[in-house]
Amino acid sequence: MDCSHIQLCDRPEQIDLQQLQRLFGVAAFWASDRRSEELAIAIQHSNPVISAWDGDRLIGFARAISDGIYRATIWDVVIHPDYQGAGLGRKLVETVLSHPHVNRVERVYLMTTHQQSFYEKIGFEVNSSTTMVLFNQPIEALDIARSVDAE
């Protein structure tokens, strides 16, 4: 597939939350039930937020959280199934990695259930020794509207 016309964008304000929900619905099993108010909060607290566009159609997304020097974590990497296998996923992740907020960071982490081979091609290594998780309060317990207003 010729994807030379696909544009990558680093402006979070460009993200259409309804399109992002639909993209997650078809291609991101871990994020398929996220609500637009929640996604707005996640985007607001992420930098960079990179999106991929075929005209005005959102076909790819990735975001990172970074302290700018020591650690960053990449989240929610997704390419629409119609556009997979054409190098766009790699381009998306490399655009996150080369962003000024990430490119000097000592270690970049990510979590993946099935896509280790994809990330290994970009330079990531399996690192099972350092990972722990706290299952904190469920999102339903949050008053989303109030927490957005408080920002």
Ligand X SMILES: CC(C)(COP(=O)(O)OP(=O)(O)OC[C@H]1O[C@@H](n2cnc3c(N)ncnc32)[C@H](O)[C@@H]1OP(=O)(O)O)[C@@H](O)C(=O)NCCC(=O)NCCS
Q: What are the catalytic residues?
A: 119
> Which residue has the CB atom at the shortest distance from ligand X?
89
Window 42 to 81, contacts with ligand X (CB under 6 A): 77-79
Q: Least distance in Å: CB of 151 to ligand X?
A: 27
Q: Which stretch binds ligand X (CB under 6 A): 5-13, 32-40, 42-50, 107-115?
A: 107-115
* Residue 27 touches ligand X, criterion: CB under 6 A: yes
In 3-state terms, what secondary structure has residue 13? Answer: helix
* Residue 84 touches ligand X, criterion: CB under 6 A: yes
List of residues 6+ apart from 123 with CB closer than 8 A: none
Q: Least distance in Å: CB of 77 to ligand X?
A: 5
Q: Least distance in Å: CB of 148 to ligand X?
A: 26
**Judged by CB, which is closer to ligand X: 61, or 99?**
61
Residues at the interface with ligand X (CB under 6 A): 27-28, 77-79, 84-90, 112, 114-115, 117-118, 121
